[in-house]
Amino acid sequence: MRAVLQRVQSAAVVVDGVQIGAVDKGYLILICAMAGDTEAVAERLAAKVAKLRIFKDDQGKMNLSVRDIGGSALVVSQFTLAADLRGNRPGFSTAAPPDLGEKLYLHFAASLRAEGVPVATGRFWGG
């Protein structure tokens, strides 16, 4: 799986003018299941994300995890993270097929919840 994590003060997903997911302080996570990924891969990534110490402590050092700050995560499916950009037309053959991609996206979100991180999600779109 590939993921991009961004620390946020707040983040939201709006689809057709309707907010479907939102969080306050924590992460915006763009996630992509790759061909060959498994539920075990999603679980390991969720455990790693929950433990990453990239939030500042009282001395300004990045020493706290999202759990330590009482934060949450907005998890958004982003198959374009699998893009092969060697030519002028991106290729996505390394992304997991849509049915597996959605399953792993949801499993990652559930695994992150199981790690004690409140999670909101966007809506899966497999391209």
DSSP string computed for 22-65? EESSEEEEEEEPBTT--HHHHHHHHHHHHH---EE-TTS-EEE-
Give catalytic status of residue 80 as yes or no: yes
Taking CA atoms, 67 is separated from 5, 15, 30, 108, in Å, by 15, 28, 19, 16
Q: Strand 72-77 to strand 62-64: parallel, antiparallel, or no bridges (unpaired)? A: unpaired
Q: Which of 55, 79, 108, 121 is catalytic?
A: 79
Q: What is the spatial distance between Cα 6 and Cα 44, in angstroms, rounded to a whole number?
A: 19
Q: Which of 6, 19, 78, 124 is catalytic?
A: 78
Give catalytic status of residue 79 as yes or no: yes
Q: Which of 38, 59, 80, 92 is catalytic?
A: 80
Q: Which active-site residues does the annotation give?
A: 78-80
